[in-house]
Structure 1
């Protein structure tokens, strides 16, 4: 890493830390006003944002990027308005910072409880989607954190234009400008610096492809909130309602193919093969889904392909689904806990005992009963917005909203109490 880049990153981190400490004194109303100003600035400068975005689109087209990539990159009036509305929705959410819970009187006479406080300085590293710039900044400002944004080089012009408006709104609202900073360089070493900058960065949140996520997982010395894969399962239990099984499986797989909460694997109890296997498989195939089936199911499904062991642990993000017949609930739970990425799993059953066991014994960040895995989303969970989804075992699991961007500290209230 060059000395200039190292100096830039250190300076960015130091400014973020100073801004975040100043933000600890901010009242909710001032933060909410800043978020509404951010929305207003995005609407006011929508033409300028689209002009910057067109540069990124031209670069992507010249680089031969596919249409799906270009669509993720595109900023139009509708998407800019959605960003603005998202900021206003965040402003309307309850502020978790300063919330006191579990306050209890101890025999000594002191009161002991918890208070929510910001995580500190967050490094947000992401690819393609310019809307993440506004979403992440809004959530971090609301939760009292400073954020250092580093988007992909493919969206550099769009991200810089958005960040410039967000910082201008902070200035107009009298908040520290450096609560939101954007790393302007496209140098890949900037990512390496951020994820190892323990002195100034408290947590890294990455959103992007597996290459980026794997790199951050392997190289970061700063704590990371992330998920690497979304290998989600639906298990059709022996006591499943037929109609619920059909509609949930089809929705979980086909409602949107390229998301981390899309079902990638289907398990079906042996007792339901006769009445459910072919109807479910046919409904999926009619919607263009290729089924990769276990040896027992393969001859029962026309057009199916033989599944390999690798298929059971694969996040396809495509029109492919692995399928396996299992002998019992125990076998289903064992299969899921072996092959799952610990993102989201669902059981279809009318058996209360089976549902309770599935909820308790499946080791994933979201576990569902008679519901599509597509519900694993911060908005659907009532969080208002999310900065990402975590399959971590520490701090936070599942969709990460405002509360997930805070932590608890102990507070003690006394009246001259001393320990005897």
Structure 2
């Protein structure tokens, strides 16, 4: 049991690798967390000395019979899909207590075990989130750094891209799961469908929830997909899952759906920004809905490029501003910003005043409190009205606002005379 793994040839380095390089120089154990298929195993195996794959039945059985074998081998030791044998977490935690030398263990997990104290190893096993491929990891050339924007240097903004609206649509549909991206259209769609079906058929039971009515769960997931980039209430999502049906599924049925999908890292909502200073009054605390990858939302809604580009109404009727394409484009931006912000030790939030007078699509908050505000526009042109909320936030925050950005589908990146940066979405990187 246990295989020695050399650095994998052909491994495409991810943005999270830089974070792992820094962390493992001082930390003994790191846990890579995120949904299945985002590349956690490949990233961990590329730097592991020994690998134990607990999703292989034979290896799992040996680990259950003799847990301490998971501590044997060349370090770092990778324990892949540790949640299938939750005792492995405490085993590593105790091993780190005994010997906290750097770079000893890598764990990967595609779910938080139901009822398990996942982070009971705080200060011993440090979690690192891994998400699907960002645009910068899809061989799309970038020219503007989020880290530079967060520095507040006001650096010149430049760069040109040939990425078109059609290209963004194709990226939304292709998704950021590495093993699926290389497949031709129908095969990729079949793989995404299979991914979603596996969630219902296998992942839910593994999380301790038997789905007696799979169609009800799938309808709820479709409604959630339709709510992408909105702050729709869970009651409205529940209602949209069964339009025209008087006897809606009970809250006691749908709340476990949300909980399990969260434990599987498939729901990735953007929290509201609620700063502790007194510069704001009556900020809304609701989160903005996102799935782990907008490609999953697109498959749940069975949309094509033609449907998205036509602006055709698709899927359950969930209250939102604008078109479904606009919502999914914002979902793609959310994925990118979160990957880039994590590399900068920053967080991504959204802002909305209680009555909706002001909204900012994304607020990237650095560890020192500095802020970059980001608005998203599905257009190649910029109107003054597109900048209203950015200018309001700049007036409100003063020097705490390091930069203000409008992301577009245009070709050219530049800084306006009023200081606001206009950047094609494809050109923004870490």
Compute the TM-score of the two structures, normalised by the length of structure 1: 0.30
Larger radius of gyration: 1
Higher-strand-fraction structure: 1
Q: Calculate the TM-score normalised by the size of structure 2.
A: 0.30
